[in-house]
Amino acid sequence: MVTIVGIGGTPREGSSTERALSLVLRSASDRGAAVTLFGGQKLAKLPLFNAEMASRSPEQLELVETARRADGRLIASPGYHGSISGLVKNGLDTLEDLREDKRPYLDRRAVGCIVNAFGWQACGTTLSALRSIVHALRGWPTPYGATLNSTDGLFDDFDECKSTLAEWQLTTVSDQVLRFALAQPMSVCSQGSIPDQHIHHKSLQLNGI
């Protein structure tokens, strides 16, 4: 069974960003994927990532292990001042602990990117930033990235999307992550049977090189 993890949201319960992420996960679940949400309130409990500290909090260990097991990832961020939020960035920085894995970071995994902003101005720059981070973590951003404008409200009281276009964007991201994950033989997804050619290294980004 394909496993998908969704990472993102804001500290506010029921934020538009997290509701969008949940819709994508529901779409994947309806098609048979096992899904896990690591939402905004969980992200808010993560300590500020420090690569020099040997110890990790239970929340950090949970995030890293959840991301490690997943065949596909979804990342959803609000657009704050033209880029991703510090909350989401700290969660992604925590994935530095995957650097010594057989498949380090997000290597060979599809990553769907979702951006939600109050207006269109921040959507493009935030999506570009999120895709760049996924590339730095060796992930495969899906060809389509969702950009949502929450100015008029995206969801009703039952978490149903009020915008046909927004719903299409979100289900498209879900579909592409699933298709990329399923394109990998299960032996590759689960066991990493293709010989690895990477060299283990410390993150260039976090070590200031």
In tens, the pLDDT along 69-85 reads 999 999 999 999 999 99
CATH code (residue 150) = 3.40.50.360
Spatial CA neighbour of 139 closest among 177, 173, 86, 179: 177
What share of the chain has pLDDT > 70, as a percent? Answer: 88
Q: Binning pLDDT at 50, 70 and 90, where does residue 164 land? A: very high
Q: How far apart are the first and last CA of the chain?
A: 39
Domain count, the chain: 1
Residue 21 lies in a domain: yes
Residue 196 lies in a domain: no
Residue 38 lies in a domain: yes
Above 90 in pLDDT, residue 189?
no
In tens, the pLDDT along 39-66 reads 999 999 999 999 999 999 999 999 999 9
Does 185 or 121 have the greater pLDDT score? 121
Cα separation, 109 vs 72, whole angstroms: 6
Angle between helices 164-183 and 16-30 (to 10 degrees): 50
In tens, the pLDDT along 132-154 reads 999 999 999 999 999 999 998 99
DSSP bridge pairs for 141: 111
For residues 64 and 113, is the Cβ–Cβ distance under 8 A? Answer: no
In tens, the pLDDT along 6-29 reads 999 999 999 999 999 999 999 999
Q: Which two tokens stand for residue 142?
A: 């899906």
pLDDT at residue number 186: 56
Does 188 or 132 have the greater pLDDT score? 132
Spatial CA neighbour of 166 closest among 182, 149, 189: 149
Residue 82 lies in a domain: yes
Cα separation, 185 vs 204, whole angstroms: 30
Structure letter (DSSP) for residue 95: G
Structure letter (DSSP) for residue 196: P
Residue 205 lies in a domain: no
Above 60 in pLDDT, residue 209?
no
Q: Binning pLDDT at 50, 70 and 90, where does residue 184 land? A: confident
Residue 37 lies in a domain: yes
Rounded mean pLDDT of 163-187? 90
Structure letter (DSSP) for residue 151: T
Helices marked H in the chain — which ranges?
16-30, 40-43, 58-69, 86-94, 121-136, 164-183, 186-191
pLDDT at residue number 199: 35
Residue 209 lies in a domain: no
pLDDT at residue number 82: 95
Q: Which domain holds residue 39?
A: 3-191
Residue 139 lies in a domain: yes
For residues 43 and 12, is the Cβ–Cβ distance under 8 A? Answer: no
